[in-house]
């Protein structure tokens, strides 16, 4: 079973430029994280966007949806910025016969105290076990995007009430 990982940018892949107090989107961090973890499943990482999720528009989401729909792989993980990952997940609900897990990070993978490695680990495990559908993997949990929200104050995702 092969897992396709589509990198769209977001905090997961950000690089911090201290002298400028600025962030930019770098190369996808999923490959070095999974290689360091010595995973034994087959995976391929493809960078399809390098944007902060706040900068994604409807055309970008449609591009992501088309890429997922047209990719021959039926197990797809998307690394995405956390601010709008639910919106993108909702756009992907019409994709059938694929297991799609979206994940991100609250801190860049390149930083010492980041949740990125844990989140990509949860997402790649989930995509192997879940039935076809669209899911969000954050903070050790799997969420249904239709009933999930980001709690900005607590820096975590939660089931909506």
Q: For the chain, what are the domain ranges? A: 2-159
Question: 80: closest CA among 67, 71, 97?
Answer: 67
Alpha carbon separation from 16 to 19, 107, 123, 161 (Å, rounded): 9, 11, 25, 35
User: Which CATH number is associated with domain 2-159?
Assistant: 3.40.50.1170
Whether 59 shows a pLDDT value over 90: the answer reads yes
> What does the pLDDT look like over 74-103, one tens digit per residue?
999 999 999 999 999 999 999 999 999 999
| For residues 144-157, average pLDDT | 93
> What does the pLDDT look like over 35-50, one tens digit per residue?
999 999 999 999 999 9
The rounded mean pLDDT for the chain is 92
Predicted TM-score of the model (pTM): 0.93
């Amino acid at each position: 079973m092969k897992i396709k990982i589509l990198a769209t940018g977001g905090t997961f892949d950000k690089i911090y430029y201290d002298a400028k107090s600025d962030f930019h989107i770098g190369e996808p961090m999923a490959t070095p994280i999974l290689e360091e973890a010595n995973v034994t499943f087959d995976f391929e990482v493809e960078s399809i966007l390098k944007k902060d999720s706040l900068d994604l528009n409807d055309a970008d989401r449609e591009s992501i949806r088309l890429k997922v729909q047209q990719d021959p792989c039926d197990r797809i993980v998307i690394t995405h910025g956390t601010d709008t990952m639910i919106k993108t997940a909702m756009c992907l609900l019409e994709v059938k016969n694929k297991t799609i897990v979206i994940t991100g990070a609250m801190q860049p993978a390149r930083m010492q105290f980041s949740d990125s490695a844990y989140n990509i680990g949860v997402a790649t495990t989930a995509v192997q076990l879940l039935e076809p559908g669209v899911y969000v993997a954050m903070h050790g949990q799997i969420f249904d995007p239709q009933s999930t929200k980001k709690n900005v104050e607590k820096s975590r995702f939660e089931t909506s009430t």
